[in-house]
Amino acid sequence: MDFSAPHVGFVLVAYGISFAVLAVLILATVAKVKSQRTQLARLEDEPDAPRRRKAADQEVPSS
């Protein structure tokens, strides 16, 4: 790639924005899973968790 070519700034900005948007999307998606996993572990660790976990497992996680 010739960095002295005309309009090369447009190419770099396009790749930069794509990288930034995809990076934010990946981080946000992974962060959500981690946060849910932590929350679920905390709920399951509480004293009466087995009864509640059984109740939750019996229900299909539909909308």
Partner 1 sequence: MFKYANPTRFMALSGAMLPWCTAATVALLAAGLYMSLVTAPTDYQQGETVRIMFIHVPAAWMALCVYTVMAIASAVALIWRHPLADVAAKTAAPIGACFTFLALVTGSLWGKPMWGAWWVWDARLTSVLVLFLLYLGYIAVWQTIDEPVKAARIAAIVALVGFVNVPIIKFSVEWWNSLHQPASVLRVDGPAIHSSILWPLLIMATAYTVLFLTLHLVAMRGEILSRRVRQLQLARLEG
Q: Does 47 bind partner 1 (CB under 8 A)?
A: no
Which pair of tokens denotes residue 39?
């929350």
Q: How far is CA 61 from CA 19, 25, 55, 58, in A?
A: 34, 25, 11, 9
Q: Does 26 bind partner 1 (CB under 8 A)?
A: yes
All residues at 6 or more sequence positions from 18 whose CB lies less than 8 Å from its CB, including other chains = none
Q: Does 27 bind partner 1 (CB under 8 A)?
A: no
Which residues bind to partner 1, rule: CB under 8 A?
1-2, 5-8, 10-11, 13-15, 17-18, 21-22, 25-26, 29-30, 32-33, 36-37, 39-40, 43-44, 46, 48, 51-53, 55-56, 59-63
